[in-house]
Structure 1
């Protein structure tokens, strides 16, 4: 590549002021991908070339430098244009096309001249375009210059050819150029490669190929912070043209058109159920690799996984998993989720500890029940821990390794707890299940025929990804609403006791009557009972200790906190758990019922949802009026006398008729 002056020169030209005229030299560093044996030629004109030949791009690497040498002594004043062109060609041949040849020429020099160490280093444009190198306006008209690439990176297969030019350079319109734009090229190799994504399987030592991961591909820029993203084509699940059509390509990531250099992959999204691999951070290059100038790819990062004889594999571990229920059977819901108030409800948290737990910086289990549940625990000793086989396991706390802590109550939640496990605590259970077993008590604040939400949450951080897994086991409890009537109107004044069955061996209910806080005009607060509203406390065998249930002014009462079978939606008295009411006092002017009243509690017996509306259901207990005896001298006597008079009158009429008929005239 050369731009020569048409006239030989021996002295610098000067302007009208006597100052030597100068020009700024910009060298544009280009790279060629080597796809053609004979790359297209770039013809330097001294001006910007907007349409470069196919295959040329801006140089991507770093560590390159250029020097500009004044080689005017290689030329004489009497040279013709043809001789100048021949001289430039002979110099380019003498200088050579390799770094070694050019260094030798610089040291020895043509015609005995020595240039080594005398060149001017061109400045790289680090802020705007690192492919441009500049020599400022000290390059004088009337001289010849040589631009050499004196340093290049290790991935270049062919350095730039020597550039020789004379100043001034004129434009295509004949104008002297104060800034001369020159183009130099390097040749490099592009190559393809592929890696495979693998993942562990639960309860198995075998790996499977994983589909669905997403990556970014970066090319390192030496000496700088950061890198160029996606330098090359990244394809997930790609096939080679010579692949067998039946080959399983799940988990394959193919990288195409990689030029020589240092790269790394960053996993941005893992397959479902898996945590992101260690190749997560573009600052540590754990999935790094290099492409040599010959196209050889070598894995260099620490996160590559050696499998099936190759280390170009990426490993994903399963995320932690967590399910909470009432049983040691690891299912989301069980049929044992209905309780009565006062029950100590078992909860079991099933935690799958990841195989790479040693990488985790956080692993905590937090339980925050609603106000209908009471957590009475205060320490780690209030838990039982088991492995998946049901064998007891234990954890040890210390002053520097506190596992248990309380979680304070809030406006919506009752007191709860938090278990903070370290990686060391769980190291022995890597890849296994542990069970966290504890109880909470269903209390008088429990919601009826609604979930009493008890959500636990497993939160984790594996150093490069965080997660939160909520799981709920929401116990239910039931109840029933009643009204004492005469068939149409509510009857106040009735009293009952609640039993679990009739006959011998019955248990009797102790209940708590609901209360409310009343504030008077002076803002004094007092507590008043709410008539007819009762919550179950416990069963007792002594009938004398049973709580008396009293109806309100409309004959109504309700009992909350009773157990039923399951959350099956069946609004029918044909199913459910039977309970019994024994009437101990009848309303005024009514008789006590002589038999116990059976009723059933089921999901929806207290209240149910119909067309998105809450519907309260009432169980009606009917009492007819008492049988009343006649009052002496009253209406009963008059009716009796009237009947007698009618009978006597009828007998007399029949006698007279018979006498007249007997008689014949």
Structure 2
């Protein structure tokens, strides 16, 4: 048995074992557990959504056990961060009802190691725990730390699963330890695909267009999101761009370009509304008259074996409130129509041609009237 949690009534469940003629009554109390949460809008949750580069705050909460039967007591928070999360720092370790937070390297130590699979193993070990915390038995103890969603994050699917346990002393007569059941949280990030085509019908046989350039901006922001090209794409492969991490500069771009197969994948987005703007049309085609509004809405049931449900909706006029079309399998078809592009006009296309035509006609009429009046 491990140390029990403090019980204000002084009553614990008892487990009686009968051995021959001897009867042993063993006190059996609750063993240490851990509750892991990710902070969402100031509240703890089992799931969260984020874009690559976002920093998230996690909390690990347990209850200080009754250690009176022990001379010394091991009590460690052990956390496994998925490959898609980069550990940041411990922001606080606090005990319920105690004003002053615990002090690193005095009250606790922090160690991190990287596993072969790329996971980060974080251990927050309590120092001289019985002597310092026995008087606080029964109170909550909470570790708060930060981590950043990185380029290795799983997009959609079952999310980025992270688990925590408590390692604790489980035998007053030895240095043996036990470990609690893990408690897990999941962090999700999402994406969608743009399929650039021309023609009256959108189907597999439609002609795909290379060389269309786009920017993506979160609604309400003035600067386009920075991306890193993961795959340039080809006639048979989609181009893939992921959101750049905070502070990442090498190889980043705000311009997303369609490859020969016309398909480009945007990865690493959180739930929300976005503006997709075509900044340059393929040669010989007219640029879209307006931006496209895109809404990303992913949800999940909090289990680590169930894939997220991701609903991508959009409109063709960047309407702020109405997204009246659903992207099948997360794919948004974007049509370009061919048009007359005058050399040297900077891509003004049919508009420039029409203006020049009107001017020529006007000059011709003026010249005819002048001759008649002469």
TM over 0.5: yes
Q: Given the alignment, which residue of 341, 362, 378 partners 2:74?
A: 362
Alignment of 1:338-377 (within 5 A): 338-356=49-67, 359=70, 361-377=73-89
| 2:20 match | 230
Alignment of 1:82-97 (within 5 A): none
Residues 390/451 of structure 1: CA separation in 2 closer, same or farther (3 Å cut): farther
- Pairing 1:417–2:122 present: yes
Q: Say if 1:508 and 1:546, in contact at 8 Å, map to a contact too.
A: no
Residues 448/625 of structure 1: CA separation in 2 closer, same or farther (3 Å cut): same
Q: Say if 2:5 and 2:63, in contact at 8 Å, map to a contact too.
A: no
| 1:510 match | 226
Q: Given the alignment, which residue of 257, 279, 291 partners 1:596?
A: 291
Q: Say if 1:366 and 1:457, in contact at 8 Å, map to a contact too.
A: yes
| 2:338 match | 625
- Pairing 1:206–2:17 present: no
Deviation at 1:587, TM superposition (A): 1.7
Residues 429/374 of structure 1: CA separation in 2 closer, same or farther (3 Å cut): same
Distance 1:357 1:456 in 2: 26
Deviation at 1:547, TM superposition (A): 1.4
Q: Say if 1:498 and 1:509, in contact at 8 Å, map to a contact too.
A: yes
SS of the residue 1:554 aligns to: coil
| 2:208 match | 490
Alignment of 1:381-396 (within 5 A): 382-388=90-96, 391-395=99-103
Q: Which sections of structure 2, spanning at least 5 residues, go unmatched?
A: 301-306, 311-327, 342-349, 351-374
SS of the residue 1:427 aligns to: helix
Distance 1:321 1:592 in 2: 59
- Pairing 1:460–2:176 present: no
| 1:562 match | 269
Distance 1:390 1:602 in 2: 41
Higher relative contact order (CA 8 A, sep 6+): 2
Q: Say if 1:320 and 1:354, in contact at 8 Å, map to a contact too.
A: yes
Tell me the TM-score normalized by structure 1.
0.40
- Pairing 1:579–2:274 present: yes
Q: Say if 2:5 and 2:65, in contact at 8 Å, map to a contact too.
A: no
Distance 2:208 2:287 in 1: 16
Q: Say if 2:115 and 2:121, in contact at 8 Å, map to a contact too.
A: no
Deviation at 1:609, TM superposition (A): 7.0
Structure exhibiting the larger radius of gyration computed from Cα positions: 1
SS of the residue 2:34 aligns to: strand
Deviation at 1:621, TM superposition (A): 1.1
SS of the residue 2:134 aligns to: helix
Deviation at 1:604, TM superposition (A): 7.2
| 1:162-220 C-alpha deviation (Å, 9 max, x unpaired) | xxxxxxxxxxxxxxxxxxxxxxxxxxxxxxxxxxxxx9987x6224573xx54323xxx
Q: Say if 1:478 and 1:603, in contact at 8 Å, map to a contact too.
A: yes
Deviation at 1:469, TM superposition (A): 2.9
Tell me the TM-score normalized by structure 2.
0.68
- Pairing 1:499–2:302 present: no
User: After alignment, is 424-433 or 555-564 more displaced?
Assistant: 424-433
Distance 1:456 1:330 in 2: 21
Q: Which sections of structure 1, spanning at least 5 residues, go unmatched?
A: 1-198, 218-228, 232-262, 268-276, 278-315, 517-529, 565-576, 630-665
Q: Say if 1:385 and 1:394, in contact at 8 Å, map to a contact too.
A: yes
- Pairing 1:534–2:229 present: no
Residues 472/345 of structure 1: CA separation in 2 closer, same or farther (3 Å cut): same
Q: Size of the alignment, in residue pairs? A: 295
Deviation at 1:627, TM superposition (A): 6.0
- Pairing 1:265–2:30 present: no
SS of the residue 1:595 aligns to: coil
| 1:406-429 C-alpha deviation (Å, 9 max, x unpaired) | 2x2123243332122232343343
Q: Given the alignment, which residue of 32, 35, 55 partners 1:320?
A: 32
Residues 207/604 of structure 1: CA separation in 2 closer, same or farther (3 Å cut): closer
Deviation at 1:371, TM superposition (A): 0.9
Alignment of 1:651-662 (within 5 A): none
Distance 1:214 1:555 in 2: 68
Alignment of 1:102-117 (within 5 A): none
Distance 2:140 2:299 in 1: 37
Larger strand share, 1 or 2? 2
Alignment of 1:175-190 (within 5 A): none
Distance 1:208 1:402 in 2: 31
Deviation at 1:367, TM superposition (A): 1.5
Residues 391/557 of structure 1: CA separation in 2 closer, same or farther (3 Å cut): farther
The RMSD of aligned alpha carbons is 3.6
Distance 1:511 1:384 in 2: 33
SS of the residue 1:423 aligns to: helix
Distance 2:209 2:226 in 1: 24
Q: Say if 2:34 and 2:180, in contact at 8 Å, map to a contact too.
A: no
Residues 509/538 of structure 1: CA separation in 2 closer, same or farther (3 Å cut): farther
SS of the residue 1:445 aligns to: coil
Q: Say if 2:84 and 2:150, in contact at 8 Å, map to a contact too.
A: yes
Distance 2:282 2:111 in 1: 55
